[in-house]
A and B are shown apart, each in its own frame.
Chain A
Amino acid sequence: MDFNFTEEQEMVRDGLSRLVREQYDWDTRRGAVESDAGWRPEIWAQLAELGILGMPFSEEDGGFGGGAVDAMIVMEEFGKGLVVEPFLPTVVCAGGFLKHAGTDAQKEEHIGGIVDGSRVYAFAYAEPRGRYDLADLQTTAKKDGDGYVLNGHKAVVVGAPWASHLVVTARTSGEHRDRDGVSVFVVANDAKGVVRRDYPTVDGRRASEVYFENVSVPADALIGEEGGALPLVERVADEAVAALCAEACGAMKVAHAMTVDYSRQRKQFGVPIGKFQVLQHRMVDMFTEYEQSVSMTYLATLKLDAPEKERKRTASAAKVRIGQAARFVGQEAIQIHGGMGMTDELAIGSYFKRLTILNAEFGDVDHHMKRHIALA
């Protein structure tokens, strides 16, 4: 049993924490989120320079030999600052596919670009009618000579407006919702036939509806096994879930601290509202929910390499616990801030919004509760 971080990990956390503090203050973030681009490529370049983008890759893959715990540390710090840059889709998702199933040539091509910051990825997995089922795919990839032709529509692809490449799940065979017949492809975002409709999201990020209209890709666009990639997709999704849980922990920690702080300053009836026992107890409950979430995030992260069933069940348990906690912490943070919490002027509203939306990403509480039951 060891819940300590290594010296290197502590250094990384300190560096990131400083970056978020110095360059991600509230007004600066808002400016970036509301700008035309919606993100800051210069922050991305700094993350590359600090080695953050290469952390979870092994040294032979061109990374710095870290793993899931390192990704967790990064995501937690990002959650504290509501960082919008696409670490999750690029490093965790695209990086995950390449790490687990990429050929040497694919790793060389893609991981190098991730590590040096020159390539940005989005993960196009959800579909309009598929809810959270990773196998519910109507996007098709048909064999065509040496390569494939993709057709379909992907929903709410986070980070797609910023991406140089898309990782896409598609059917090479079978009916939608079949476990067999799922394949994974990497597609250049500017490939002929890729049509995007970009938009901002309510939690300060950018996403797209992505339509594939007879998009031709070469044979080496396929990552992993043709038609047998669902287990791989599920594994990467569990890694994304663990990373999201870490982000939620960071956001909850700050939301809670802001709320306690506000309750000390805000006076009504001649005393700080933090003196009212009913609010004190609610803030204690927020804190408890946060601590429980941290524990579940550790557990899910440390079980990512466990046998499939155990990994899945733990990831689902974490997503359930964090979804419930994020809802409670977010709602109470607004309530205790009162009217001020409803204004766009204070940061707390944005923490609440992020905590709301991440609940649905990669499956909401009900979805993961069902999966947890099914794997009992």
Chain B
Amino acid sequence: MNLEFTAEELAFRDEVRSFIEENYPKHLGDAGMREDMSPEDMVAWHKILGEKGWSVPSWPEQHGGTNWTPTQRYIWLEENARVNAFMPLPFGVSMVGPVIYTFGSEEQKERHLPGIRSGDVWWCQGYSEPGAGSDLASLKTTAVRDGDHYVINGQKTWTTLAQYADWGFFLCRTDPDAAKPQEGISFILIDMKTPGVEVRPIKLIDGGYEVNETWLTDVRVPVENLVGEENKGWTYAKFLLAHERSGIAGVARSKRAVEKLREIAGKELLDGEPLIEDLDFARKVSQLEIDLAALEITELRTLAGEQAGKGPGPESSILKIKGTEIQQRLTELTLEAVGNYGAPMYGQIDDAGSNQYPIGPEYAQHSAATYFNMRKTSIYGGSNEIQRNIITKMILGL
């Protein structure tokens, strides 16, 4: 056991670092922290990585993966976090992509994997429904066979960034009479331009519109868009969720956010001294760093296990719980650091007079909105209560 990088790994780090320096779009700035990204900005880095062949590092090599070791993948994420890069969105790269190359047909692999790699095709995830959140298996959207099509009807919700998506992967009920609710579900790919697909943005408490209701009304989808076997969708959905959880910890991003928090607390004053020198505040930042260090090694151990052929198992739930708690705590402390300037609703202030009469320091902007927004992390991807249930059942055996 050791934590040191080898000479090869250090060389790899230098290669990655100079590639990012030369190619990461400068105009994106601190994109990983921004709340106001345009869709073009969100895929800019993905497209550059696609050309380089680095957009899907964790995929098998025959599908365009890089065959990096877990350490190399770790270095890759760290280096991206250094510039706070806005990473490729997970819906194609770490969700539907792995499902397609693992369970899909040759035709589906040829048709869909290139667009995911290149960043040209934007995917969204149609899982949750108004009545099926934590209890996902109770979903009601139906897909009824009609010749060589499925006719799909139902309503999905929390469909992240569906307003920009070209394709979506949807869980639909194909066997209403199955003995167990999990048994009658299929995993179907839908072209979002198909007649009958309607996306309605939902306004969230931070004022933004990142999720949607997606209505499906008599949507006719060719049967070749079924992934794997009919009624076996739950298996693929669970496979995907485990993948999603291992990426959800957000360690590299949180490390960057801690640095940012330290910067802010170095500029804010308490009794004329930097806030970061105040023991009460410093203690909270250190606690966060300590928790993050523990999480980071836990994640590396999980990655190493995956490398040894163990797929992400129930322990990925630990990553999800701790990762999201740390993300939430980070944004909370950032809001705390900026004091009175957490209150202005920066998103709704016109810029007239901004130079002459500024409203607070720039780093205070969106601190409250980001804190509000991050409350979602313990709810989505299987709420943290559900994650604890998974550990209870799968690890404790209770």
Contact = CB atoms under 8 A, between A and B. Distances in A.
A357 B205 CA distance: 14
B398 to A, nearest CB: 13
B311 interface: no
A177 B157 CA distance: 53
Contacts, number: 142
3 closest A-B pairs by beta carbon, nearest first, are A349-B205, A268-B135, A344-B203
Interface residues of A, number: 50
A188 interface: no
B385 A278 contact: yes
A268 B133 contact: yes
A262 interface: no
B202 interface: yes
B175 interface: no
Interface in B128-185: 128, 131-135, 138, 157-158
Nearest to B210: A342
A177 B385 CA distance: 47
Interface stretch (B32-40, B117-125, B236-244, B344-352): B344-352
Given A197-B353, A342-B376, A352 B205 contact: yes
Interface of A: 126, 128-129, 131-133, 136, 155-156, 158, 177, 195, 197, 199-203, 207, 209, 211, 267-270, 273, 276, 278-279, 331, 334-335, 338-339, 341-345, 349-350, 352-353, 356-357, 360, 364, 366, 369-370
B293 interface: no
A267 B138 CA distance: 11
B370 to A, nearest CB: 11
B343 A360 contact: yes
Given A200-B348, A353-B372, A360-B340, A344 B204 contact: yes
A342 B369 CA distance: 12
Nearest to B342: A360
21 contacts: A129-B269, A131-B269, A155-B360, A158-B343, A202-B344, A202-B345, A209-B359, A270-B135, A335-B375, A335-B378, A338-B133, A338-B134, A339-B128, A343-B202, A350-B205, A352-B372, A356-B368, A356-B371, A360-B339, A364-B336, A366-B281
Contacts of A276: 385
A315 to B, nearest CB: 19
A156 B383 contact: no
Interface string B176-220: 000000000000000000000000001111010000000000000
A112 B171 CA distance: 66
Contact of B359 (A197, A267, A364): A197
B202 A202 contact: no
Contacts of B368: 202, 353, 356-357
Nearest to A268: B135
Given A156-B341, A200-B348, A202-B344, A343 B280 contact: no
A339 B379 contact: yes
Contacts of B269: 129, 131
Contacts of B376: 339, 342
B133 A199 contact: no
Interface string B326-338: 0000000001100
A356 B203 CA distance: 19
Contacts of B372: 202, 349, 352-353, 356
Nearest to A366: B280
